[in-house]
Amino acid sequence: MFLGVLVLYLVFFTISVYAADTVSVKGEIIDTYCYALMGAKGESHRQCGIDCVKAGIPAGLLEGV
């Protein structure tokens, strides 16, 4: 019984891995804190964004930029 369940699990896992589609997105990686407070983005905010993410502020993806 256990072996049968294990085999089914491996089959479904393998199918799900190979069935996954690849997705491409374009945008700008931002730090969520400065963007939410000030709308900060772009090249002028580059170094601050890097520092904020290194300090633990979550990064986000601003699509379509």
Q: How far is CA 47 from CA 11, 22, 30, 40, 50, in A?
A: 46, 30, 11, 11, 5
All structural domains of the chain with their residue ranges: 25-65
Q: Is the Cβ–Cβ distance between 63 and 30 less than 8 Å?
A: no
pLDDT digits (tens, 9 = 90+) for 26-61: 999 999 999 999 999 999 999 999 999 999 999 999
Q: In sequence order, what E strands does 1-65 have?
A: 27-31, 59-63
Q: Tokens at residue 41, please?
A: 């983005």
pLDDT band at 17 (very low <50, low <70, confident <90, very high): low
Check pLDDT > 70 for residue 1. no
